[in-house]
Structure 1
Amino acid sequence: MTRPRSVAISRQPQPALWHWLGGGLAVVSVGLFATLARAEAPTIVAHGISTFGDLKYPADFKHFDLVNPDAPKGGRMTFRGTGASSTFDSLNPFILKGEAAQGLGMLYDSLLSGSPDEPDAGYGLIAESLEYPEDRSWVTFTMRPEARFSDGAPITADDVVFTYEVLRDKGEPSYKVILKDIEKVEALGPHKVKFTFRPGVATRDLPALAGGLSILPRHYYETVDFAESTLTPPVGSGQFLVKNVQPGRSIEYCRNPDYWGKALPVNIGSANFDCYVYEYYSDTTAAFEAFKSGGYLFQQEFSSLIWATAYDFPALTKGWVKREELADNNPSGTQGYWFNLRREKFQDERVRQALGMMFNFEWSNETLFFGLYKRTDSFFENSPLQAEGLPEGEELALLEEFRDQLPPEIFTEPAFSPEISSTRQLDRGALRKASALMDAAGWAVGSDGMRRNAKGEKFTLEFIEDQPSMDRVLNPYIANLRALGIDARLTRVDSAQIQQRQEDFNYDIMAGRFVMSLTPSMELRQIFASESANAKGSANLSGLADPVVDALIEKLVQAKSRDEVQVRARALDRVMRAKHIWVPNWYSGKYLVAYWDIFGKPDQQPPYSRGDGLWWSDADKLGKLKAEGALR
């Protein structure tokens, strides 16, 4: 089954190059390596930082363990362009205006870069070192004087200050949430910049936030309007340039031959292709047909139907294309249909629970998904952050603080999970329970079989979708909802419309998927906190605005150990599951990938990504396939 569109969230507004190429939405969080003492106060000076505990790699490390340091550079990697829509018309990923192309993170470097085998560590990229007090109330980065923008201009502390200010003042509205805990950013010299954080805020992850910002050139935006979308390739700070743009069709990024940082330890063995290309297609069927003929070279498959029935094409049977199921050790994605609680008809939890009951996962999995999936019930599915059973121990103690604001069943019943339905499309038992809930909520069935409230208003529910491949899931769900008396319907819109309606919160129910971190933190404010509920373009699809959820998010942000993160995440998960803000979907816990067999790759897959960011072009394999007529 094609998954719902992913909604981009990150603790860092624009991921460093490493994370764009690693095949998944990774998060840079950054701690402790070496301690020095200054006369006025003890501080920590380091080559990197980690959320909890020591860094794996010492200051003199040569490269990360999982890379091939001798990987050859050259060749091309091509992907299908995906994202919120199947097109693009902008090369500015920092604003709401326009639909940004995929892969633009490759144009930018950040002060810190992540590690392939640590979930929450960062090492110096533009920054040579960093200094901070034990309470992390501020952080100072010493930058590499050799660092250059793509036009050759030096990257200075003034550019870091500009980056913070322009994102805060002119970036998409979510940046105000992301950056709100930064009090000021100041240049202490040409290559030294200090971030000071607001008093009283949780500071555990704020050095990572600062270190993860994509650095933008002040001099370039003196003559270019940052607030406008554009198809003119911008000046960047990373090792790739935009080479070719065909709006809505394809974008090609190629290596900057003058990139200053190619020999840095964090860059050795990664970004091995000379060019990366994203090809855009109107729909899933067109894209798959193109992949089968070599139109692009790497495919992560999200359709269970295609995975189960269509991978028998000639290129695969001849061995030219490889198919693999790779382990995914991240939380499996918070995927579902999100109710828009900003609309009055969804305010009653009983209504939301009833509507959720009518989605029959068991029938869908057996009939439509070929048994490939498991039911999602947690916001942190497939991870130790998922709530289980009754609350106890430290989790119970935490929830006790909010007992008077929580429903009693939080303490007396296991964490909510959707009931198992029959393998008939319409489960009569679920229909009876849902009917009782709708009746109790004041939505009675009229003579026409449709439910109305006391004002005589019909209960309508509009699904919007731009992918025909979703019809086979949505139409049976809609039929079940109509059996409940809901005037449910599916409206086909184009990708630009669905993106605009999402940004304007103009929908009843929205499909979406969030990729969660093993160390969830400030990014949760963008998805579930009151402050983002009405921020235009925010990732808070449901419009959730709840004081207990807000308080639990802040406690999670303040967690000082891995154990505390798990306890507090479970409490948050338990509370949100009881609110029925979504109809949870499904997950597999694997990356389903296929690729043309022209690549070399390390012996071991990184634990927190697909790992294709570490692959390289194998000249012998490519030559063999060309000789056999497989590729041009």
Structure 2
Amino acid sequence: MRKKLIRSIIVVLLVALSFGLPVLAEEHALALHGTPKYPADFTHFDYVNPDAPKGGTMRLANVAAATFDSLHPFILRGTPAQGLGLIYDSLTERSLDEAFTEYGLIAEQITVAPDNSAVRFKLRKAARFHDGVPITAADVQWTFETLREQGHPQYRAYYRDVERVEVLADDEVEFHFATTGNAELPMIIGQMPVLPKHYWAERDFSATTLTPPVGSGPYRVAEVDAGRRVVYERVEDYWAADHPVKRGRHNIDRISYDYYRDGTVALQALKAGEYDLRQENVARNWATAYDVPAVETGELLLEEIPHSQPAGMQGFFFNTRRAMFADPQVREAIGYAFDFEWTNENLFYGAYRRTQSYFENSELAATELPNEAEQALLAPFQDQLPPRVLTEVYQPPQTNGQGVRGNLRIAMRLLRDAGWEVQDGILTHADSGQTMDFEILLVSPSFERVVLPFQRNLERLGAKVSVRTVDPTQYQNRMNDFDFDMTVHVAPQSLSPGNEQRDFWSCEAAEISGSRNVAGVCDPVIDELIERIIDAPDRESLITRTRALDRVLQWGFYAVPNWYIDQFRVAFWDRFGRPPANPPYGLALDTWWVDPEKAVER
């Protein structure tokens, strides 16, 4: 027994030496903080029906983009079709009933160095692309290097802390990190879709394409009607169909997305049975537009499904690259012209709550005065921060719903203090002579009814404001180039913020076309807080550091906060089955199935 033990120890040490790192522990899953919920021998996620029947179709609609011109979602050019994520698998798969835990998918084993200087993935021998070619470590390496060098600019920021990637064997690949403090980095690499190196060998990765690409996921592209419709079909011999993270999911044979240029037409099409399911994002529609016989008979179902997802920040975002919006006092003043209470009561039927935080609807939100840990974190930056960051809880301006006259008086005082005065009926800066003349850029006509009262209030201050709604392609191009003054934007968040915060708020991202730093935020304190979040060693410190970042963003007035809701509003025809409970961190449509007793082929 003693000799066997010694031999085992020697084997482990030899493996460690070959790895070039301290002794490591192989894992089936990674949790950012804490331990994974599901053990290594789990058979399926709790929120699925492992015996769900396969078959049928689910017809969906896309209104947000209105068109598409590419099946290549990994580059800045073009507008990719919706649903392309269905055709790709990644090294790991996230569960929707844990804050941030990933389980091996393409990766059979995940090995993280004790000092977090590297992560190794051992690939499953069964993993295959749709053309039958095995997925290898060379594909993983090529994918990473190609995304970072030729992919969307966001990948360069996202993978910045990866120093190099090394192929150790056909089924083993290792990522070496430039820093050991980024605990999220192994999980970020795990999320990376793996693309087929052999497929792209004779193709231009930087070009858009409407040729269905080769993937490895549960679906493949079956039909494409450019700009109008895309159809995905379930891969019958999908390599991971019985994998624990996939069992009970991807039950529907065909999923289609029809594109509509007009939201009203799309809503009428649902009620006419032209497609099957719609997630309703317009409160007025939810309150008034579904008074139809099919709802009364129970054929068309309306459900409000609660969730615990962070809401992030939806708001009227300023482009602080514009000189008129460079002063936070000006941005604060403009916020007083938006009457949320009136808007919510008269336009939204009281459906929403006012957003206060960039991490709304989560424990990460700064909704109270900073505790000792936050104060200690922010103390070194005290001279660089507005005093209110440490002494007041941020609250967006409020009204009684009867008008904003009082708030406009406050706004005018702030503007005068910032050097603005009304000259010939328009706000003008006393020193530069610049006028307060700007455009609010929209992509959805449904937002015009919200923006027009805001516009009128701004004009009462002396601002000259225009509202322009453009088509999705033009909108995306202008956003990529930061060619706007103010726009409606959503900065989404997760329960485990990390590297993506660089893309949202860093000085580096502010200069990168296509980044998600829409507002052009560039503040050395924010840059430092982002790095502190990335380096957070545990959940408690992550919460503290995120709340500190939230406070600095709140008091920077980079957006006029809008609203949020903590439930999914879903309208769907009664032809589907689904598990009894939806997971807290997503609308798990991929766990639904077509009920053969209810469905009628259409």
Aligned to 1:109: 89
What's the CA shift string for 1:291-311, capped at 9, x where partnerless? 111121111111011011111
Displacement of 1:457 in angstroms is 2.6
Structure 1 residue 447: Cα displacement: 2.3
- Change in Cα spacing, 1:201 to 1:346, as seen in structure 2 (3 Å) is farther
State which of 418, 424, 442 in structure 1 corresponds to 2:396. 418
2:57 pairs with 1:76: yes
1:221-266 residue CA offsets vs partner (Å, 9 max, x unmatched):
1111110001110111212110011111111111122321211111
The SS at the match of 1:262 is: coil
What is the Cα deviation at residue 93 of structure 1? 0.3
CA contact (8 A) 1:446 1:452 kept: no
Aligned to 2:302: 323
- 2:424 paired with 1:406: no
Tell me, yes or no, if structure 1 residue 605 matches structure 2 residue 575.
no
Verify: 1:128 aligned to 2:105, yes or no. Answer: no
1:549 Cα offset (Å)? 0.6
Aligned equivalents of 1:122, 1:559: Cα separation in 2: 18
Structure 1 159/368 Cα, relative in aligned 2: closer, same or farther at 3 Å?
A: same
- The structure 2 residue matched to 1:592, chosen from 569, 584, 591, is 569
> Does structure 2 conserve the Cα–Cα contact (< 8 Å) formed by 1:254 and 1:275?
yes
Q: In the TM superposition, what are the counterparts of 1:484-563 in structure 2 within 5 Å?
A: 484-563=461-540
Tell me the alpha carbon deviations over residues 348-370 of structure 1, each in whole angstroms, 9 at most, x when there is no partner. 11110111110110110111111
Find the aligned partners of 2:491 and 2:306 in 1 and give their Cα distance: 18
Q: Using the TM superposition, give the Cα deviation of residue 39 of structure 1 relative to its aligned residue in structure 2, in angstroms.
A: 5.3
Matches within 5 A, 1:69-468: 69-83=50-64, 85-198=65-178, 200-414=179-393, 416-425=394-403, 427-468=404-445
What is the CA-CA distance between 1:166 and the residue it aligns to?
0.6
How many Å separate the matches in 2 of 1:392 and 1:492?
43
Aligned-partner SS, 2:251: coil
Q: Give the whole-Å Cα distance in 2 for the aligned partners of 1:439 and 1:189.
A: 67
- The residue matched to 2:598 in structure 1 has which SS? helix
Cα deviation code 1:317-355 (max 9, x no counterpart): 121011111112011231011100111111111110111
Q: 1:485 & 1:610 partners in 2: Cα distance? A: 44
TM-score (norm 1): 0.91
1:135 CA drift (Å):
2.0
Give the distance between the partners of 1:562 and 1:132, measured in 2 at CA. Answer: 19
Q: Give distance in 2, aligned partners of 1:306 and 1:239.
A: 34
Partner SS for 1:458: coil
Question: 2:426·2:436 contact (CA, 8 Å) conserved in 1?
Answer: no
Provide, for residues 119-150 of structure 1, a one-character-per-residue CA deviation record: whole Å limited to 9, x for no partner.
21111111111112222211111111221111
CA contact (8 A) 2:59 2:256 kept: yes
Cα deviation per residue 1:145-164 (whole Å; 9 max; x = unaligned)? 22111111111100001001
For residues 273 and 267 of structure 1, what CA distance do their matches in structure 2 show? 13
Look up the match of 1:64. Answer: 45
Aligned AA for 1:163?
T
Equivalent-residue separation in structure 2 for 1:545 and 1:497 (angstroms): 26
C-alpha distance in 2 between matches for 1:191 and 1:455:
63
Q: Read off the aligned partner of 1:439 and give its amino acid letter.
A: R
Opposite residue 80 of structure 1, the aligned amino acid is A
**Cα distance in 2 between the residues matched to 1:39 and 1:210:** 22
Rounded Cα–Cα distance in structure 2 between residues aligned with 1:454 and 1:334: 34
Structure 1: unaligned runs, 5 residues or longer? 1-35, 627-631
Q: CA deviation at 1:452?
A: 4.4
Contact 1:82 1:102 in 2 (8 A): no
Q: Aligned partners of 1:492 and 1:338: how far apart in 2?
A: 16
Cα-Cα RMSD: 1.4
CA distance in 2, matches of 1:453, 1:465: 30
Deviation digits for residues 60-80 of structure 1 (CA, Å, limit 9, x no counterpart): 111112211100111112222
Q: Is the 8 A contact 1:338 1:582 kept in 2?
A: yes
Q: What code does the residue aligned with 2:80 have?
A: A
Letter in 2 for 1:146: A
Q: Which deviates further from its counterpart, 158-167 or 330-339?
A: 330-339
1:178 Cα offset (Å):
0.8
Cα deviations by residue, 1:448-472 (Å, 9 ceiling, x for unpaired): 3443443333211201223221111
> 1:135 touches 1:203 (CA, 8 Å); kept in 2?
no
Deviation by residue 1:20-76 (Cα, 9 ceiling, x = unmatched) = xxxxxxxxxxxxxxxx77554221111111111221112111111221110011111
Unaligned stretches of 5+ in structure 2? 1-11
Cα pair 1:450 1:458 within 8 Å, conserved: yes
The TM-score, its normalising length taken from structure 2, stands at: 0.95
| Map of 2:3 onto structure 1 | none
State the AA in 2 paired with 1:49.
Answer: L
Return the letter of the residue paired with 1:70. Answer: D
Code of the aligned partner of 2:112? Y
Percent of matched pairs sharing the same residue: 44
* Aligned residue in 2 for 1:18: none
Aligned-partner residue type, residue 359 of structure 2? F
CA shift, 1:377, in A, is 1.2
Instruction: Assess if the C-alpha contact under 8 Å between 2:100 and 2:496 holds in 1.
Output: yes
How far apart in 2 are the matches of 1:308 and 1:39?
62
Question: Contact 2:115/2:180 (CA < 8 Å) preserved in 1?
Answer: no
Give the secondary structure class of the aligned counterpart of 2:446.
helix
